[in-house]
Amino acid sequence: MKPEPPCDTPGASRYIEFGVQSNFSFLRGASRPEELVVAASLLGYAGIGLADRNSVAGVVRAWSQSKHIKPAADAAPAAFAYRPGCRLVFCDGMPDVLAYPRDREGWGHLCRMLTQANLRDENEKGATLLRGADLLEWGERMSLAVLADLSRAKDQMTLLRQIKDRFGEAVRLAVAPAYRGDDRFRIEQAAAMASALGLRLMATNDVLYHTSARRPLQDVLTAIRLNVPVAEAGLELAANAERHLKPPAEMARLFRRYPEAVEETWRFKKELGFSLGELQHNYPDEPTRDGATPQQELERLAKEGAAERYPGGAPASVTERIREELRLIEKMGYARYFLTVHDIVRFARSQGILCQGRGSAANSVVCFCIGITPVGPDKIDTLFERFISEERNEPPDIDVDFEHERREEVMQYIYAKYSGKRTALAAAVTSYRARSALREVAKAMGLSDDVRSGLSSSIWGSSSSELGEREAKAGGLDKADPVTRQVMDLANEIMGFPRHLTQHVGGFVITKDRLDEIVPIVKTAMDERKMVEWDKDDLDAVGLLKVDVLALGMLSCLRRAFDLLEDHYEDAHDDYGRSYTLATLPPEDASVYDMICRADTLGVFQIESRAQMSMLPRLKPKEFYDLVIEVAIVRPGPIQGDMVHPYLRRREQKEKVEYYKDELKAILGKTCGVPLFQEQAMKIAIVAGGFKPGEADELRRAMATFKRTGTIHNYRDRMVNGMADKGYPRDFAERCFKQIEGFGEYGFPESHAASFALLVYASCWFKTFYPDVFCAAILNSQPMGFYAPAQLVRDAQDHGIEVREADVNFSGWDCALEEAAFDPGKVLARHGDMRGVIKSRHAVRLGFRQIKGLSDKHMEAFVARRGNGYASVRDVWLRSGLDVAEIEKLAQADAFRSLGLDRRAALWAVRALDGKSAAEKLPLFDRPGIALRELEPEAALPKMPPGEHVIHDYRSLGLSLKAHPVSFLRKRLDGCGVMPNALLASAKNGRRVRVAGLVLVRQRPGKGNAIFLTLEDEKAVANIIFWPRVFDRFRPIVMGAKFVCVTGKLQSETGVVHIVAEKIEDFTPWLAVLQEGAGGDGLASESGEAQSNGHGDLSRQASALLDSGTQKVMPKGRNFQ
């Protein structure tokens, strides 16, 4: 856009546009708030307002942008004026009103009015039913411009008079040129109406987009809104492209007969004194002891906490650090924020809910002392200033993770404490991503279904990168075709546009004053939850308190583990005889690190994935900080920045550590000169790239949201050039920048990694010493993590733990521990080191939760009514309160063994039960304990073969304790020269081997070309690597088969064994052998060819029909990107 020449019409530059809708007027406005502000300033406007339809969701973004507008040297001296407002759209015939608050009180009124309309009982979620009465009730302290519908002048007069009588001088009549041929008449009519009512006329252009080039996009939005193709939307579309921001001189020309209407916008603006900056720092008051100030209270808590954390007295450096942090907190006035988070954490602890904080501000000693974070400054560098910087003046940010099943209790506490008046959830803006943008635009442009699905299936995941040739081709389209180009262009344009607001997963806004006078509150999909209209970034920008109350599965698992430990191992406690907690687990235990170094980490937190596991033997963690690095290193940031291998080489001392300059040694000293953490990359930008601290953070934010602004290149050039100028190698600078890019969305700051590392250590501690406890706890916390229950159970068994089947007479809902001697002899040779380490004394009894399709409520009642045990299937039916379908599920899970019934016999008995529930039956012959012989002829059922049992176990439980499916095939595999996976570890490097197994996981990490496959046989897993050429050749088998045989070269490097695949064969049909009826007496198949006459040779054909059943049951393997 080129700047307009300065206008010569006097007063024209004093034009301010107030009738502006952004794309937060969903599916109407076609420009981002930021774009509108920038365009207005380039056109030489003195200012701009933003008034979205019954919403203020976009005002913060426009405000943030307006702060960056610097008056040009030759422009008018007055600063660019931005005013937030709202376009009130009524449901009862009242004309639209542009409402702009005059001061803080007026803003409160506006928010109250919108909240009232949002929360009406009769509203659907997301709808706003605003009535004229709402305006009359809450319209004080605002300036109002009424956009009267001139085609209904008569009844509009009445309504206008009503508004005028109520608000007097504050009211204007606004009119916009419509270009329908009668503008001169319309404006005169409006002027006549205004003078008849004693109102002043105000000009507007009723803007929907910042440039006329957005008309096509606006038409597409209309089409999406009406759910018709553009070509059929007809008169619903705008006839022309006039609703853009016009140069002030053009506005003056359009209103040349009424210059006062243009001038009026200036007067309107002068009445508006409210800025969003006034909302800042509305932190809730927390009760303090003896009426102390929040700062005093925080100081006291920090002092007491320090005494507790450091029983021997805190080291001087720590006390100094605390003093420094408290000073900064006092200066910025953040004490109340810390008290609020402290109180939430305190509540959770009092309820026995495991939790821990992370996030930027958690990175402080004060947070450590008052118990928000678990990792002290002796373990990591805490860089508090980075997160509360004086110059940025943004509120601190603390996220707290809670057990995923008990987070709700914490949320209820927050609601109860602050009430709906002072707290609500933050919003999350759902925006168009590549896939949705393409899908909806293609639909609006009338492309056919198959093209559309082809197009959108070409996009992996939820990307929001630019669409182009590749996507077009996938949809069978030619990029040169004009329609295709339009679709692509429009989809790229719409990407990042907000679609609707949803609730943030756990971000609470808490305020001291009434929340509904700060920001409008809206309904969410859940009745009892309310949210505000602003998202995380908006809240940050405005400076409101926000706490993320998040759910973390591993915390649930650990809490269960602590409970089980306390219940079953009375000897497990710390030196003072107290039960263990996260903070008091024996630290830095060598056995734990030994296990980690062996990559025996299946199931533990974070370091359980294939990529992590193969890193462990190379990284060889020996102490806590190594875990912090391990957590941070296998992330998109360091991987994209190509930092991983240099780090490993340097750590293994294969490469010299180089810092290029001393200034970097301070930053990168701990990580061998390689930036691995977010703050290191930021610091490099500051120290080496010449960014100011605030700018460096802006840079990081720009990465996360660069679609919004698109200014990434400037940053890149600045940083790379800046570093090159200072004498750094260019490729190092490039990599640093790339890493920041990767961090944008998946960054791990050090404190974050440290919080996670603590959970890594804790979960590893349990797995090392109490694999039984770990197994039961993690099974009871499913679904979580990377592995399915089958692997978790297998791993426990491999460590010598006995796992017992779910049984009607022994199991509870959860998996439980039962007394059993630990036999070190059962530990697999591969885990032989653990024989002397493991302290288990229990077996794991599977719970009913493993059985698919049962409900916890019913099964808990089932257990409660069990008494001395159930005597028969019939007894279960009569007493347990379960219905037949549920009992059948128990039978299918083979849970009646304690009654002497195998799966088939139990099913036969269950099928004989009729009716929904036993309660409806007369108890005549149905008294429990009386063994009534069933009065029916015996049916001779064939015995179920073991393979079939295994299949049914998989179907019902997802695992089998009886045998591994592959064990049935071992003989056949031996015949083919297939090596058991367990022997791979001892095989020679470089040897060619054949292995076989069920496909557990397929993975294609990051942008890497290799495809990883994990195969499982009855004893161990094998890790396969496919290079692209081989993969392309065998793609169907790699992606489709469930049971495969791979031939390839064995590669062993520092204890990590891979097989580089050369060939893969699909052995899936072999699984049919497990199935009853396969082999000797195959059945006729339905899909077989037409047969010769007669029915003699029917049984000759093997049954393709039956084995498809087996194949369905076996896990497909999980795919990860």
Site for another protein in 809-838 (CB under 8 A): none
Identity of the residue, 446 or 690, whose beta carbon is nearer to another protein in the bound complex: 446
Shortest distance in whole angstroms from residue 497 CB to another protein: 15
Of the candidate residues 653, 975, 1095, 1121, the single one contacting another protein (CB under 8 A): 1095
Residues 6+ apart with CB under 8 A from 419: none
Helices (H), 351-495: 365-369, 384-387, 407-422, 434-444, 449-457, 469-474, 482-494
Coil vs helix vs strand at 16: strand
Of the candidate residues 165, 236, 478, 588, the single one contacting another protein (CB under 8 A): 236
Cα gap 78→256, rounded to integer Å:
24
Shortest distance in whole angstroms from residue 12 CB to another protein: 16
Contact predicate 198/228, CB 8 Å: no
Coil vs helix vs strand at 26: coil
Site for another protein in 183-212 (CB under 8 A): 184-185, 211-212
First to last CA, the chain: 41
Q: Is 1035 in the site for another protein (CB under 8 A)?
A: yes
Q: Which stretch binds another protein (CB under 8 A): 152-160, 234-242, 292-300, 434-442?
A: 234-242
State the binding string over 1098-1117 for another protein (x if CB under 8 A, else -): xx---x-x--x-------x-
Site for another protein in 464-493 (CB under 8 A): 482-483, 485-486, 489
Sheet holding 842-845, edge to edge: 803-804, 842-845, 816-819
Site for another protein in 641-670 (CB under 8 A): none
Q: Is 1039 in the site for another protein (CB under 8 A)?
A: yes
* 378: exposed, middle or buried (Cβ count in 10 Å: 0-12, 13-18, 19+): middle
Of the candidate residues 727, 936, 990, 1029, the single one contacting another protein (CB under 8 A): 936
Shortest distance in whole angstroms from residue 39 CB to another protein: 11
State the binding string over 991-1010 for another protein (x if CB under 8 A, else -): --------------------
Q: Cis omega (within 30 of 0) on the bond before 783?
A: yes
Instruction: Give me the long-range contacts of 485-488 (CB less than 8 A, separation at least 24).
Output: 486/216, 486/445, 487/438, 487/441, 487/442, 487/445, 487/447
Identity of the residue, 79 or 213, whose beta carbon is nearer to another protein in the bound complex: 213
Shortest distance in whole angstroms from residue 880 CB to another protein: 20
Identity of the residue, 167 or 908, whose beta carbon is nearer to another protein in the bound complex: 908
Please give the size of the binding site for another protein, defined by CB under 8 A: 73
Coil vs helix vs strand at 30: coil
Q: Is 134 in the site for another protein (CB under 8 A)?
A: no
Token representation of residue 629: 């690095």
Q: Which stretch binds another protein (CB under 8 A): 175-183, 407-415, 577-585, 717-725?
A: 175-183
State the binding string over 419-458 for another protein (x if CB under 8 A, else -): --------------------------x----x--------
Token representation of residue 503: 């609730």
Shortest distance in whole angstroms from residue 237 CB to another protein: 7
Cα gap 653→630, rounded to integer Å:
17
What stretches of 926-1053 adopt beta strand conformation (E)? 992-1003, 1011-1016, 1021-1026, 1043-1053
Residues 795, 801, 806, 810, Cα dihedral to 10° = -160
Name residue 1047's amino acid.
T
Query: DSSP string covering 701-722, please?
Result: HHHHTHHHH--HHHHHHHHHHH
Site for another protein in 590-609 (CB under 8 A): none
Site for another protein in 537-566 (CB under 8 A): none
Name residue 343's amino acid.
D
Site for another protein in 887-926 (CB under 8 A): 892, 904, 907-908, 911-912, 914
Cα gap 695→68, rounded to integer Å:
13
Identity of the residue, 129 or 254, whose beta carbon is nearer to another protein in the bound complex: 254
Q: Is 12 in the site for another protein (CB under 8 A)?
A: no
Site for another protein in 681-720 (CB under 8 A): 710
Shortest distance in whole angstroms from residue 156 CB to another protein: 18
Cα gap 99→50, rounded to integer Å:
10
Identity of the residue, 157 or 237, whose beta carbon is nearer to another protein in the bound complex: 237
Q: Which stretch binds another protein (CB under 8 A): 226-234, 773-781, 817-825, 987-995?
A: 226-234
Of the candidate residues 14, 112, 215, 842, the single one contacting another protein (CB under 8 A): 215
Cα gap 213→35, rounded to integer Å:
13
Q: Which stretch binds another protein (CB under 8 A): 178-186, 309-317, 781-789, 806-814?
A: 178-186
Site for another protein in 1051-1090 (CB under 8 A): 1066, 1076-1077, 1083-1084, 1086-1087, 1090
Rg (CA), the chain: 34
Shortest distance in whole angstroms from residue 31 CB to another protein: 11
Of the candidate residues 943, 972, 991, 1063, the single one contacting another protein (CB under 8 A): 943
Shortest distance in whole angstroms from residue 479 CB to another protein: 13
Identity of the residue, 351 or 1091, whose beta carbon is nearer to another protein in the bound complex: 1091
Query: DSSP string covering 250-298, please?
Result: HHHHHTTT-HHHHHHHHHHHHH----GGGG---PPPPP-GGG--HHHHH
Shortest distance in whole angstroms from residue 460 CB to another protein: 12
Of the candidate residues 939, 975, 1007, 1080, the single one contacting another protein (CB under 8 A): 939
Identity of the residue, 480 or 829, whose beta carbon is nearer to another protein in the bound complex: 480
Identity of the residue, 654 or 933, whose beta carbon is nearer to another protein in the bound complex: 933
Shortest distance in whole angstroms from residue 324 CB to another protein: 46
Q: Is 415 in the site for another protein (CB under 8 A)?
A: no
State the binding string over 715-734 for another protein (x if CB under 8 A, else -): --------------------
Site for another protein in 283-312 (CB under 8 A): none
Contact predicate 282/544, CB 8 Å: yes
- In eight-state DSSP terms, residue 920 is G
Identity of the residue, 182 or 308, whose beta carbon is nearer to another protein in the bound complex: 182
Of the candidate residues 72, 133, 196, 231, the single one contacting another protein (CB under 8 A): 231
- For the beta carbon of residue 330, count every other beta carbon within 10 angstroms: 16
Token representation of residue 282: 């509305």
Identity of the residue, 730 or 1116, whose beta carbon is nearer to another protein in the bound complex: 1116
Site for another protein in 848-867 (CB under 8 A): none
Shortest distance in whole angstroms from residue 340 CB to another protein: 43
Q: Angle at Cα 41 formed by Cα 36 and Cα 45, nearest 5°?
A: 100
Residues 6+ apart with CB under 8 A from 884: 877, 910, 913, 914, 915, 916, 917
- In eight-state DSSP terms, residue 1092 is P
Beta bridge partners of 81: 47
Of the candidate residues 74, 124, 235, 857, the single one contacting another protein (CB under 8 A): 235
Name residue 129's amino acid.
L
Shortest distance in whole angstroms from residue 922 CB to another protein: 18
Shortest distance in whole angstroms from residue 1088 CB to another protein: 9
Coil vs helix vs strand at 131: coil
Nearest residue to 846 via CA among 859, 865, 858, 835: 859
- In eight-state DSSP terms, residue 902 is -
Cα gap 915→78, rounded to integer Å:
82
Site for another protein in 239-258 (CB under 8 A): 239-242
Identity of the residue, 406 or 952, whose beta carbon is nearer to another protein in the bound complex: 952
Query: DSSP string covering 793-805, please?
Result: HHHHHHBT--EE-
